[in-house]
Amino acid sequence: MNDAARGHSTKSRVDAVLIGGPDDLPKSARTRQAESTDRIIKIMHRGGYEHFELDDGSPTPATRPQRIFRWTMRTRIAE
């Protein structure tokens, strides 16, 4: 039985590096694993979300497993 049949994702994982955003976003939050197909990453921070989008100049997963995401905006959590 293959991974897809077991319900496991067959997508490849890449290292994502988050650039920009608030200065107080912890350094540990700026590197993480993401799916190779992800174009947006949202991080919960100070009662809202920091949005990071894939830098189109970032290498493809085939050439390098690290992708760059740049901060684009912040949204607040509705209560």
What average pLDDT score do residues 74-78 get?
Answer: 92
More confident residue, 4 or 56: 56
pLDDT of residue 57: 81
Q: Is 48 exposed, middle or buried (0-12, 13-18, 19+ CB in 10 A)?
A: middle
What average pLDDT score do residues 11-34 get?
Answer: 93
- The pair phi, psi for residue 71, each rounded to 5°, is -65, 135
| Residue 5: pLDDT over 60 | no
| Residue 40: pLDDT over 60 | yes
More confident residue, 8 or 33: 33
